């Protein structure tokens, strides 16, 4: 079964579903948040700033592609799992820390694993972080609803296992 992403109007023109409008808004919100935050992260570590720019641009491109035409199930899958990847990366950064992030370049001193560069600086969760995270999670759920039934079931199972794995790691103390 194909997802219904457009509905006919009285004039015969196709318009997007409300769900797709929501998905576009959520993707755009996440894109803006990443792009706005990029300069600050670039100051800390250029690779982090570049990552923010790349994520922001990809999310913007995704929002644009949803805006322009009816997305294929494949594109929706890319949107879902790409967003899940961003969410997981964020989770790691706010728990165990990015393992390959730089130490403080002072004569031989390196950060201990999971130790932030600035005191709590890179593990703080602010309102903007939380808003973006919620937008991304909501985007995943909205996109899931756009998939054909079979793909939706498979993807929902994947998301469930992903979630259970996170819970399991948290319970085992691997994500603190």
Partner 1 sequence: MKLSRRDLLKAGAFAGAATALPLQRMVSGIDAFSRRMPASKLPTPYSVPFARPKSATPVMSTANKDYFRIDMRATQLEILPGYKTVTYAYNGQVPGPVIRVNQGREAIVRHTNMLPKVHDRLAYEPWTSVHLHGSASLPQYDGYASDITRPGESKDYRYPNFQPARTLWYHDHGVHHTAQNAYQGLVAMYIMSDPLEQALNLPSGEYDVPLHIGDAMFERDGNLLFTLDDASGMWGDVFLVNGRPWPNMQVKRRKYRFRVLNNCISRSLDYRLSNNAPFHVIATDGGLTSEPLEVTHIRHAGAERYEVVIDFSNYTVGTKLQLLNTSPQNNRDYPNMDRIMQFEVTGESFTTLDNNLPPVLNPSSPVMALQESQAVATRAFRFRRIGGAWTINGTTWADVVSSNYQFTLADPLKDSVEIWSLENPSGGWFHPVHIHLVDFQILDRNGAPPQPWERGPKDVVYVGEGEIVRVIMKFEGRGRYMMHCHNLVHEDHDMMGQFNVVDPAQAGDDPMGTLAKPIAQMGPLVP
Residues 10-29, interacting with partner 1 (CB under 8 A):
17, 19
**Is residue 174 a contact point for partner 1 (CB under 8 A)?**
no
Residues whose CB is less than 8 angstroms from the CB of residue 142 and which lie 6 or more positions away in sequence, other chains included: 19, 22, 23, 26
| Residue 43 CB contacts under 8 Å (≥ 6 apart), including other chains | 49
Backbone angles phi, psi at 49, to 5 degrees: -60, -45
- 12 vs 108, which CB is nearer to partner 1? 108
SS3 content of the chain, % helix, strand, coil (to 5): 65, 5, 30
- d(CA 48, CA 35) in angstroms, rounded, equals 12
Contact residue for partner 1 among 8, 12, 126, 173 (CB under 8 A): 126
Token digits of residue 47: 């690779």
The reply to whether 84 sits near partner 1 by the rule CB under 8 A is yes
Residue in 7, 15, 54, 163 binding partner 1, rule: CB under 8 A:
163
Number of residues forming the site for partner 1 (CB under 8 A) = 63
CA nearest to 23, candidates 140, 147, 131: 140
In angstroms, what is the minimal distance from the CB of 57 to partner 1? 18
Binding status of residue 134 toward partner 1 by CB under 8 A:
yes
User: Where does this chain bind partner 1 (CB under 8 A)?
Assistant: 3-4, 17, 19, 36-37, 39-40, 43-44, 84, 87-88, 90-91, 94-95, 104-107, 109, 111-112, 114-121, 123-127, 129-130, 133-134, 137-138, 140-142, 144-146, 149, 152-153, 156-157, 159-160, 162-164, 166-167, 170, 175
């Amino acid at each position: 079964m194909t997802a219904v992403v457009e509905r006919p109007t009285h004039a015969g023109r196709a318009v997007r579903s409300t769900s797709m409008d929501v998905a576009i808004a959520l993707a755009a919100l996440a894109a803006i948040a990443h792009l706005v935050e990029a300069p600050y992260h670039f100051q800390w570590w250029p690779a982090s700033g570049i990552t923010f720019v790349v994520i922001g641009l990809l999310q913007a491109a995704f929002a644009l592609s949803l805006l322009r035409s009816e997305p294929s199930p494949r594109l929706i899958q890319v949107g879902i799992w790409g967003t899940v990847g961003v969410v997981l990366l964020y989770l790691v950064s706010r728990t165990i820390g990015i393992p390959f992030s730089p130490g403080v370049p002072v004569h031989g001193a390196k950060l201990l694993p999971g130790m932030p560069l600035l005191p709590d600086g890179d593990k703080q969760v602010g309102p903007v972080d939380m808003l973006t995270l919620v937008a991304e999670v909501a985007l995943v759920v909205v996109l899931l609803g756009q998939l054909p039934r079979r793909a939706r079931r498979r993807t929902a199972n994947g998301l469930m296992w992903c979630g259970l794995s996170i819970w399991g790691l948290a319970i085992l103390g691997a994500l603190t």
